[in-house]
Amino acid sequence: MKKLLSLLALIIVTLTVNAATYTINDIPNVHLKDKYQFVSDPDGYMSTDAKREVNHHLRSLMDSTSAEVAIVLVESIGNEDMDLFAQRLFDSWKIGKADKDNGLLLLFVMDQRRARIHTGYGLEGIIPDITAKNIINYDIVPHMKEGDIDGAIIEASKSICEICKDPDAVGEIWSDQAND
Q: Where are the chain's structural domains?
A: 23-173
Query: Model pTM?
Result: 0.87
Q: What is the pLDDT of residues 135-175, one digit of tens each?
A: 999 999 999 999 999 999 999 999 999 999 998 888 778 87
Q: How confident is the model at residue 4 (pLDDT cuts 50, 70, 90)?
A: very low
Average pLDDT over residues 89-118: 96
Q: Which of 7 and 75 is assigned the larger pLDDT?
A: 75
Q: Which residues of 12-25 are buried (b: 16+ CB within 10 A; e: fewer)?
A: eeeeeeeebebebe
Amino acid at site 3: K
Q: Which fold has domain 23-173?
A: Diaminopimelate Epimerase; Chain A, domain 1 (3.10.310)
Tens of pLDDT, residues 19-67: 579 999 999 999 999 999 999 999 999 999 999 999 999 999 999 999 9
In 3-state terms, what secondary structure has residue 99?
Answer: coil
Under the banding of pLDDT at 50, 70 and 90, the label for residue 2 is low
Q: How far apart are CA 49 and CA 67, in angstroms?
A: 23
CB atoms within 10 A of CB 26: 11
